[in-house]
Amino acid sequence: MILSREDIEALLQKLGLTKYETRAYLALITKGRLTAKEVCQLTDIPYSKVHEVLKKLEEKNWIEKERTRPTYYYPKSPREAVEKRRTELESELRFVSEHAVRELQPLFEEREVKEKPDIWIIYGINNILDKILEVVTKTSEELLIALPIVLNSDKIDLTRLFSAIMAKNIRIKILTVEDSIPHFTSLLNLHNIEVRIRDSLFGGGIISDTGETILFLNDLTSKSIFAIWSRHTLLSTIAKEYFYNLWKTANDFTKKIRKK
């Protein structure tokens, strides 16, 4: 099966590249050795951003550069770059899995007979959004939201969710990726909302001070989308700890917007 360019871009973005990083890498793969100016001419990347885009690609091990004047960039082998990214994702998943099993298994074994913790699997984007809306509405003090590249679809109506968020006078922290920012610009200037961005996120979720947690590990535009909802205190604690570990190393987008 031959993939379209759009399919290839989507695959690279699932591996953690931004839209501009994806297009810069594909330009280099197609044309070979290029300067930053030539990358601009072959893509829609603004010249003001192209050096930062190429720097990020180099840091992520997708490209290399020659220290010449002008500087030339050339792509690394896709096999090498993808293998490195796969190793990173496996390491991240292993970290989450090990901590979850280590903390939850003893509790499960001790209390399995006494009680069944509330853990449910929710299928379908509309059902997931309804549950998220319910959790947002019940939150009284703090809501943590982690969103990977899941909003790039006209089929997902977030109007009710954003209206509920805007109506809540609570602390809200949103952790996302740069490509998702345009989808919720209406929230950026609210005084109670902080937004930070990372180059990529593995999965996402909602963590409420009610003790409820919703986790999703695949793209919300996927036909097989499902989420896990839980009211288990320990799972909420682990999810919150993991969220704040990512939050500490993310770029503060809110501060950047409010300076303008």
Per-residue DSSP letters for 179-226? GGGGGGGGGTT-TTEEEEEES--SSEEEEETTS-EEEE-S-TTSTT-E
Q: What does the pLDDT look like over 47-71, one tens digit per residue? A: 899 999 999 999 998 999 988 888 9
Residue 152 scores a pLDDT above 50: no
Q: Are residues 58 and 121 in the same domain?
A: no
Q: Are residues 131 and 245 in the same domain?
A: yes
Residues contacting 21, CB < 8 A, separation 6+: 12, 53, 56, 57, 60, 62
User: Between 257 and 129, where is the model more confident?
Assistant: 129
Residue 159 lies in a domain: yes
Residue 198 lies in a domain: yes
Model's pTM, two decimal places? 0.55
CATH of the domain at 189: 3.30.870.10
Total domains, the chain? 2
Q: Are residues 124 and 215 in the same domain?
A: yes
**Distances in Å between the alpha carbon of 245 and those of 57, 59, 92, 96, 189?**
23, 21, 12, 12, 24
Q: What DSSP element (H or E) covers 135?
A: helix 125-138
Domain that includes residue 34, residue range:
5-76
Residue 253 lies in a domain: yes
Lowest mean pLDDT among 35-44, 159-168, 173-182, 234-243: 159-168
Q: Contact 198/249 with Cβ under 8 angstroms?
A: yes
Q: Are residues 150 and 231 in the same domain?
A: yes
Q: Contact 4/14 with Cβ under 8 angstroms?
A: no
Return d(Cα 206, Cα 216) in angstroms, integer.
9
Q: Are residues 144 and 218 in the same domain?
A: yes
CATH of the domain at 20: 1.10.10.10
Q: Are residues 127 and 216 in the same domain?
A: yes
Residue 98 lies in a domain: no
Q: Which amino acid is at 244?
A: Y
Q: Are residues 72 and 121 in the same domain?
A: no
Q: Are residues 63 and 143 in the same domain?
A: no
User: Between 116 and 234, where is the model more confident?
Assistant: 234
Residue 176 lies in a domain: yes
Residue 88 lies in a domain: no
**Distances in Å between the alpha carbon of 57 and those of 8, 20, 62, 91?**
17, 10, 5, 20
Q: Are residues 150 and 59 in the same domain?
A: no
Residue 107 scores a pLDDT above 80: no
pLDDT given for residue 194 in this prediction: 86
